[in-house]
Structure 1
C-alpha cells in the first residue's frame, strides 16, 4: 500500500447504517505504520483521528479538556469507519464519544472526551512554572550533545513522519517532537488534533527498556489540557513505571514553547521479546 500524501488519513464518504447512525470512511496511509509491526498503526494516528471526529461534533463556545483513546485491538493500515456522538449534552459540560471500526465491523478504537464551556480565567492562570523550568527549552534541544538513542531504537513509517529534537542524555525522559503530516488530508489541524498526532510518543521517551528486547505497548492514552498548545512543536517529559507482573504506566507532562499545557498517561502491556 502506497500513497503520495502528507496526511495520516484520507477522508471518504459518510453513509448511514440501518439505525441512521452516520459513519465516515477514512483510509489510513502508509505514514501510520507502527514500529511494532508493518500491518497495523502506531497509536498516535488513530488517537488523533478520534479527536478530529469528536471536535467535529463538539458544541460551540468551549473546548475539549480531556481526550481518552482506548486501543481495543490492532488498528489495521486500511480503510476504517468512524462515528461520533454527544453522549451527555450540556450548556457548561458535555461528554462526547467516538468509535472506529475496521472493514469487518470489528471495533478497534474507542475515544471519549469532556467538553467544557470557555470563560475568562486569565486572572488566576497558573502556568506551572516549576515544571516549565525542568523541561529543556526547544532552543536548547537538538544540539551536538543531544541523546539520539530514541531514533536509533525506533523505526517505522510513523516515526519517519516526525521531526525530533532530542535533549542531552544527562536530562533523560525528555523530547521535542512535531509531525510533518496533517491528520486528515485537506483538513487543517486543530491544536488538539495536532497534539494527539504525537502525544502517544510519550511511551518510549523515557528510555528505560530497549524495544529490541521488550514490548511495552500501551492499551490507552489519556491527555488532559489546561491550555491549548501553540505552534507545531510538542515537548514531552515522560516517566516510565514498570510493575512486577507484566504491566506498566507511562506518565508524561506536555509542553509548547511557552510552557506546560497538560499531562498524559498510558497503561502498558509489558512483555519480554524472544
Structure 2
C-alpha cells in the first residue's frame, strides 16, 4: 500500500493536508489529531523560552477542518523568562477552524523530588496489533500510526487502552517529535473508548485539553481512555497518557453526541 510520507506538505506560507489526515465522519474533513499536532508545533516554534516545556494545551475546534490547504500562525500572549502563554490558530478557506492556548515553562533539574514513574500495566511490546475498521477510506488517519491494543478494543465499545508509534512525519521532511506524536494520537481517545457504536451515533469533540507534568519521550506513546455519556447528548472523554517509562499527564474532551 502506497502511503503519503507525512500528514502535511509545506506549500508556500501554509501546508496541504494529505490523505493521512482524513477523519472517520466525512472523507473531505480532517481528524482533529493531525491539525492539533501542527498547532503544537507552531506553539513551540513561537515560544520564547529556549528548551521550555509545554505543560498544557487547550484546543477549541471551531469548525470542520477540510482536507486541503491550511495556514497556521502563533503569537505570545504572555511573555516571560520562566512562564509564557502562547496562542496558535489554524485557518482554512479564510476562516479559523482550530485554536490552542498553551502554557510553557522553563525547566530545571528537579529529579531529586520527582514522583517515581509508574509504568502502564501492559506495555507496547505486549499489546495486540490492531487497526481501526471505522474509516471509509483505506488511506486515512488510522494509517498515520501503528496501533496496539493494551486493553478493551479499538473498534468496540467501552474503556480501552492503546499504544501507538508514528508511521509518517507530521510535516514532510521533518521527524515527528514525541509531543507532536502525542497530539496526533490523543484526539482519538474518544474513538477507542466509544460508548455507542459508530454506525448508531456521532460523537465529535468540540475541545481537547492536554495537561502534562513530563514531556513525552521515546517511540511508543499510550493512552488509557474512558468515555462517559450524560443524559442530554453531552459526553466527556478522559484519558491517562503514557510513554514507555510511565504516566506523563491527562487529557479531557467534551463530546457532542447525536444519532446518525
Question: Is the structural similarity TM-score above 0.5?
Answer: yes
Gaps of 5+ in 1: 15-24
Q: Deviation digits for residues 187-211 of structure 1, max 9, x if unmatched? A: 2322211211111111122242111
Is contact 2:83–2:103 with CA below 8 Å preserved after alignment? Answer: yes
The answer for the alignment partner of 1:43 in structure 2 is: 32
Q: Deviation digits for residues 178-227 of structure 1, max 9, x if unmatched? A: 23121111123222112111111111222421111111111111111111
Cα distance in 1 for partners of 2:30, 2:151 equals 30
Cα distance in 2 for partners of 1:169, 1:29 equals 30
Gaps of 5+ in 2: none
Cα 1:270–1:128 shift into 2, 3 Å: farther
Asked if 1:13 corresponds to 2:2, the answer is no
Cα distance in 2 for partners of 1:187, 1:167 equals 29
Cα distance in 2 for partners of 1:107, 1:95 equals 20
Q: Deviation digits for residues 64-122 of structure 1, max 9, x if unmatched? A: 1111221110100111111111111011110000111112x111011110010111110
In structure 1, which of residues 31, 38, 44 is the aligned counterpart of residue 20 of structure 2?
A: 31
Cα 1:115–1:69 shift into 2, 3 Å: same
The runs of at least 4 consecutive aligned structure 1 residues that moved more than 6 Å come to none
Alpha-carbon distance, 1:161 to partner: 2.4
Cα distance in 2 for partners of 1:169, 1:89 equals 43
Cα 1:249–1:168 shift into 2, 3 Å: closer
Cα distance in 2 for partners of 1:106, 1:34 equals 19
The answer for the alignment partner of 1:256 in structure 2 is: 243
Alpha-carbon distance, 1:266 to partner: 0.7
Alpha-carbon distance, 1:172 to partner: 4.5
Length-normalised TM-score, structure 1:
0.86
Asked if 1:76 corresponds to 2:62, the answer is no
- Write the mapping of 1:89-168 to structure 2, written as runs, cut at 5 A: 89-103=79-93, 105-127=94-116, 129=118, 132-133=119-120, 135-142=121-128, 151-156=132-137, 157-168=140-151
Asked if 1:230 corresponds to 2:217, the answer is yes
The answer for the alignment partner of 1:272 in structure 2 is: 259
- Write the mapping of 1:50-69 to structure 2, written as runs, cut at 5 A: 50-59=39-48, 60-69=50-59
Asked if 1:87 corresponds to 2:70, the answer is no
Alpha-carbon distance, 1:58 to partner: 1.2
Is contact 1:96–1:113 with CA below 8 Å preserved after alignment? Answer: yes
Length-normalised TM-score, structure 2:
0.90
Q: Deviation digits for residues 214-256 of structure 1, max 9, x if unmatched? A: 1111111111111111222211101101111111110000111
